[in-house]
Amino acid sequence: MPNVVQYSVPRTGSTVIRRVLYSLFPESEAPSQHPPLKYDSRDSLIVSSCRYPLDVLVSYARVHHCEQGYELGGIDEDLLAHHAKRIKTLYQWYFEDLDHHRSHILQLKYEKFWNNYDYIFDNLETFFSIEIDNNKRHDITQKCGIENSRKIQARLKDFSCVDEKTSLHGNHIATPEPFGYKKVLTRTQIVSMEIFLKDAIAQWEKI
């Protein structure tokens, strides 16, 4: 079997995709990769997750500066601008890399697999030409789902601490619902960030 690489922008559901993927292919397990892609084999099969950029921005700011409030207007302008530059660069690398490897990629949209693991399993079945029976689906969902993930992260002090078996961080999951940025960013911030990240948003819309 070719190498299987999990490659995504951080904070896009990449950890859950990695856990599901290597529950199915434990012999292929490898660390997740984030932009820029460091693995250049054209024979690799790349499984990737993508999430709405403003949600990624808010999540990224939260895990790096958790002392700032996770409520409406809780992220100050300077911090938002600082992380927005990083997110813009990550998405640029990400889509360039996917274009380079386009014939060997399965791209999964966060907003579609949120609370819908069958979307993940169905796409993996098609991509790898395999069958994942209902018992296997149930077992993996229980193991990799949010409820069990929250139990694991509760044992870890903060985001700098990582569970070796699952690659989950402390404080990894907070508000994973799609489009949660609307509860955190002010209207002015949303408009500003939609303009600044317009290229990444346009690419996300195509998935």
**Residue 177: what pLDDT?**
86
CB atoms within 10 A of CB 118: 12
**b/e map 124-163, b = 16+ CB within 10 Å:** beebbeeebeeeebeebbeebeeeebeebbeebeeeeeee
pLDDT tens track for 1-35: 668 889 999 989 888 898 899 899 988 877 778 89
pLDDT tens for residues 131-175?
999 999 999 998 887 666 666 666 655 555 665 666 565 454 566
pLDDT of residue 170: 47
Q: What is the pTM of this model?
A: 0.84
